Amino acid sequence: METSPSYQSYITSMKNYETTQGRTDAQKPFANKFEELYNQAQDADINLKNAKDFLQDLTSTQLQTLQKYSGLAEAIDVDAISAEGAYNLLMHDNEQYDFNNDGVAEVGVSQKILPVPTTMPVDVRDAYIKAMNSLDDKDKLMSMMLTFDMGRLKSQIDGTPYKPQTIDYEYLSYRVDSILNPQPPAFTSEETKKSINAFWKAFEASYTGDKTKSDETEENSAVAKFLNDLLTKGATKFLADFNMEKIQAKIDEYRKKLEEQMGDSPQELQEIEKMLEAFTKQLLEELESSLDSSKKDKPGSKDAIIKSLLEMKVDNPTKPLEELLSS
């Protein structure tokens, strides 16, 4: 097993984390076979460097056990997975980890949002786990949205480098407030508020660390604006506005390229306008097509977004809002 201090600290805390009954029930038929493989991996002193080699020596039946226990839809192709994906396949859920610090834990070829972020300070993490364990499964699943790193989604949409967000007391406090006190036209159902209230009451009772809020950094401010725009506009309107900005940028770039190639005489400018019109129509048709499946979303409603965030697999980073809009 990996022995880095950060990983060992994390799994020490995670030993206390109680998974949902639904997850336990789903894994139960494969649990005994998985434990056999887990013990073999431990005996082989499994780590990031040798996990793929270990998997290569397994039979198709053993790989299928890992697939079913992990809840993967597709059969495991050892050649296609990373060292992190291989290692996490051989670990219990509470021992899986985001080793490359990209915001998700690779399990096989899939990417999984961990129930407890690796970027939580230890005191926050332990209080968070204690609070989550006090909730029923419904409230626990709903409360998981509080730790979703909106900066990761923002970086995927903007095409900018991802910088992991520290999920500390201040971050949780902000997220709780944005859900309990949404700014119109954003909306939070009473059921959601009840779940978040239950979590926050339990967390506040467990957390004994510093509750002082620091001055908001420029980066946190950008993420806060992103989250506010997403929740107040609704996912469909947010995506439409974002794509319109992208479309305008493409049109401006195309116009500049045409003018450089064709010149700026009245005749050429007239031809350029026709080409731009056709290009704009094509881009708008593509945008309309991408939004067709999401028109049923209620503008400003958080419930569909919450459900999607909880279930998000982040399997295709090139389409970060596809799953967000598919509820």
Q: pLDDT digits over 70-108, tens only?
A: 999 899 999 999 999 999 999 999 999 999 998 889 999
For the ranges 153-162, 198-207, 220-229, 272-281, the one whose mean pLDDT is highest: 198-207
Q: Is the pLDDT of residue 9 over 90?
A: yes
Give 120-130 pLDDT, tens digit per residue.
Answer: 999 999 999 99
Res 275 pLDDT > 90: no
**Does residue 189 form part of some domain?**
yes
The mean predicted confidence, pLDDT, of the chain is 80
| Cα–Cα distances in angstroms (integers) from residue 97 to residues 52, 114, 117, 150, in the given order | 16, 8, 9, 19
Asked whether the whole model's pTM tops 0.75, one would answer no
Mean of pLDDT values over 35-51: 97
Asked whether the predicted pLDDT for residue 17 surpasses 80, the reply is yes
Q: Name 110's Cβ contacts closer than 8 Å, sequence gap at least 6.
A: 70, 72, 85, 313, 315
Across the range 211-229, mean pLDDT stands at: 64
For residue 2, what are the CA distances in angstroms to 90, 107, 149, 154, 239?
12, 16, 25, 31, 40
As given in the structure block, the two tokens for residue 304 are: 């569909």
Identify the three-state secondary structure at position 44: coil
pLDDT at position 261: 81
Confirm whether 229 is domain-assigned: no
- In sequence order, what are the residues at sequence separation of 6 or more whose Cβ sits closer than 8 angstroms to the Cβ of residue 1? 42, 45, 46, 47, 95
Burial 78-112 (b: 16+ CB within 10 A, else e): beebbbbbbbbbbbbbbbbbbbeebbbbbbbbbbb
**Whether residue 132 sits in one domain with residue 215:** yes
Question: Is 158 among the domain residues?
Answer: yes
pLDDT of 15 higher than 90? yes
Can you tell me the mean pLDDT for 243-266? Answer: 73
174-195 confidence digits (pLDDT tens): 889 888 988 776 678 888 899 9
> Bigger pLDDT: 162 or 13?
13
Whether 75 and 163 share a structural domain: no
pLDDT, residue 85, reads: 97
Report, as an integer, the average pLDDT of 306-325: 38
Q: Are residues 212 and 249 in the same domain?
A: no
- Does residue 209 sit within a domain? yes
Domain containing 108: what range? 5-112
Does 305 fall in a domain? no
Q: Does the pLDDT value for residue 162 go beyond 60?
A: yes
Find out whether 108 and 193 touch, Cβ atoms under 8 Å: no
Q: Place 315 in a pLDDT band, splitting at 50, 70 and 90.
A: very low
Residue 224 located in a structural domain: no
Bigger pLDDT: 234 vs 108: 108
Structural domain total, the chain:
3
The pLDDT of residue 27 is above 70: yes
Please identify, among 112, 136, 153, the residue that sits at the C-terminal boundary of a domain. 112
Could you say which of 112, 139, 154 is where a domain stops? 112
**322 located within any domain:** no
Amino acid at 163: K
CB atoms within 10 A of CB 243: 19
Residues 108 and 129 in one domain: no
Are residue 19 and residue 108 in the same domain, yes or no? Answer: yes
Q: Name, in order, each residue with C-beta under 8 angstroms of 294's C-beta and a sequence gap of 6 or more.
A: 235, 236, 239, 325, 326
